[in-house]
């Protein structure tokens, strides 16, 4: 997908909350218009029609608003890229549901993997001030304590 196409998809996702006119065409007709003419209004109508279901699916699995929004966007980006591969265009709802489910499950697994790696990562140890003392300073301190009556001339 080109950068321009991705921008189009993201622009429509951002407009999801606006009130575009209701589209009476079927999913098949809208997909066809999007595929043949790259009709942005057709894609926007599909987004309006199915966006809430996709977002709810993502939220149900991820339980994190930001991750759910990312999965939502990824689902519609996949639709924009793979619209021509949908065999039964009448069943776009179930296709989107399956894609959203898979995207959200993968995102959930990735988040769990990151949490597990973070838990296993070594925690930084508190810095011991004595570990920071250089060898020369340590020798000077030892000399001072071994000969308490005598001043150290090396300073």
How far apart CA 105 and CA 99 sit, in angstroms, is 10
How many residues comprise the chain?
Answer: 155
pTM exceeding the 0.75 threshold for the entire prediction: no
Q: What is the pLDDT of residues 57-71, one digit of tens each?
A: 999 999 999 999 999
Residues 6+ apart with CB under 8 A from 40: 8, 12
Domain spans in the chain, listed from the N-terminal domain onward: 3-146
Per-residue pLDDT of 78-122, as tens digits, reads 999 998 888 876 789 999 999 999 999 999 999 888 888 888 888
* Backbone angle region of 100, left / alpha / beta, with phi > 0 → left and psi within -120 to 50 → alpha: alpha
| pLDDT tens digit sequence for 126-146 | 766 666 667 777 778 788 888
Q: Please provide the CATH number assigned to the domain covering 3-146.
A: 1.10.1740.10
Q: What are phi and psi of 146, to 5 degrees?
A: -80, -25
């Amino acid at each position: 997908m080109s950068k321009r196409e991705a921008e189009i998809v993201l622009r429509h996702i951002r407009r999801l909350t606006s009130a575009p006119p209701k589209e009476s065409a079927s999913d098949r007709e809208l997909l066809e218009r999007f595929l043949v003419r790259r009709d942005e209004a057709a894609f926007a109508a599909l987004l309006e029609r199915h966006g809430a279901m996709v977002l709810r699916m993502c939220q149900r699995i991820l339980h994190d608003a930001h991750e759910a929004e990312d999965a939502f966007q990824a689902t519609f980006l996949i639709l924009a890229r793979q619209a021509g591969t949908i065999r039964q265009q009448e069943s776009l709802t179930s296709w989107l549901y399956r894609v959203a489910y898979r995207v959200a499950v993968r995102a959930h697994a990735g988040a769990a993997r990151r949490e597990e790696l973070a838990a296993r990562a070594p925690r930084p140890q508190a810095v011991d001030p004595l570990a920071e003392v250089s060898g020369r300073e340590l020798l000077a301190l030892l000399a001072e304590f071994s000969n308490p009556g005598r001043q150290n001339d090396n300073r």
